[in-house]
Amino acid sequence: MRVALNPAGKPILFLVGLCSLPLAAQDQPAVAFASLLGGAGTDDCDAVAVDAAGNTFLGCHLSSVDIPGSDKFPFSLAGNMDAFVIKLDAGDASVAYIAHWGGADWDAIQGLTTDAEGSVYAVGVSNSNDFPVSTSAAQGAFGGDSEIFLTKVDPSGKIVWTRFFGGDGDEDSQASDIALDKQGNILITGYGPDHFH
């Protein structure tokens, strides 16, 4: 993901899809599609995933409410930067859904993966002590300067559940990436305190 500036001087995101490898050493990859995403605020994307059908998913944190697709999938920000999963259609890279959640502070997605059914799993970091977490989560309360969160988004863009990972004291947790194994277990890499749970 690369960042450019819009005419107002704010960063915008752009995504370029290239043809699949392998390529001969002298070949240059061909551009399959290019898409811009951004609005009047500050917008950032740290994670990209592609499902088996070729749909592209962006894991973002945004402060704009006027991004492409927001007319079809309107939302209001909960804080200064909220977490987003944005699905781009495999056919024309149009916005197929916008899933959005967050609290009063800064919340960001840092890793994405998809399953065979088209659900998305997003891992990220929240600095919001009011971040929305499922009531059945093992750690349902914010407990430090930041918490790692894990969220499942269904194929229609609805949030299924969210849970925290972290500790109860001051910490600066960081999630790096996420993957699913063949049995469907969720694997997360990152760092946190020694009392991590």
Alpha-carbon distance 97 to 107, whole Å? 19
**Cis amide linkage into residue 22, ω under 30° from 0:** yes
Alpha-carbon distance 122 to 83, whole Å? 9
Per-residue confidence of the chain (197 residues) as pLDDT tens digits?
333 333 444 444 445 444 445 555 556 666 666 667 888 888 888 899 989 898 999 999 999 999 999 999 999 999 989 999 999 998 888 999 999 999 999 899 999 999 999 999 999 988 888 888 876 655 566 666 778 889 999 999 999 999 887 666 545 567 778 999 889 899 888 776 655 55
Alpha-carbon distance 186 to 113, whole Å? 9
Domain assignment present for 180:
yes
Alpha-carbon distance 124 to 118, whole Å? 20
Task: Give me the DSSP letters along 27-62.
Answer: --PPEEEEEEE--SS-EEEEEEEE-TT--EEEEEEE
Could you tell me the CA-to-CA distances from 114 to 85, 110, 139, 186 in Å, in that order? 12, 14, 23, 11
Per-residue pLDDT, 100: 94
> What is the number of other CB atoms lying within 10 angstroms of the CB of residue 12?
20
Per-residue pLDDT, 87: 96
Domain assignment present for 196:
no
Alpha-carbon distance 67 to 70, whole Å? 6
Domain assignment present for 159:
yes
Range of the structural domain that residue 79 is part of:
2-20+28-191
Number of domain units in the chain? 1
Domain assignment present for 138:
yes
Domain assignment present for 173:
yes
Domain assignment present for 197:
no
Domain assignment present for 109:
yes
